Amino acid sequence: MIEAGSTRGGRWLRERKLKLALWVAVVEGIVVAVSHDLTRWTVLVIGVIVLAFYVLAGRSMKWDVGRHLSWIAAASQAMALLVVLFAFIFEWIAIGIVAIIAIAALVYLFSDHRRT
């Protein structure tokens, strides 16, 4: 059944929008990982701008294709933001684990000095 107001391009995008958003997020992640010019802050700023555009204008667009394209952009940026946040959290967890191991090693070394 064809929805009223939908276009051929809009229907094509609607059927593939999640897959397209995932691929955009993957490509963006690879570009950010390889490029030294794009940082987490760049992804964060771009993500906030794109998500704000979708919330304020993209959802209410009359143009079917534009509405789906704005959804794809917003979803891919939301996924990229999640990757950045997880990387930040895991980085701090890794730093914490290294600090705990270092403290444990120092405690062991200083407690062992009486035996040598």
Q: Which of 52, 40, 54, 53 shows the shortest CA–CA distance to 88?
A: 40
Strands, E assignment, 31-115: none
Reported as a single tens digit per residue, the pLDDT across 76-85 is 999 888 888 8
The pLDDT > 70 percentage for the chain reads 92
Residue 71: is its pLDDT beyond 70?
Answer: yes
Residue 115 identity? R
Whether the CB-CB separation of 31 and 55 falls below 8 Å is answered with no
Q: Which of 89, 86, 69 shows the shortest CA–CA distance to 24?
A: 69
Q: What is the pLDDT of residue 70?
A: 92
Residue 47 CA to its chain's centroid (Å): 8
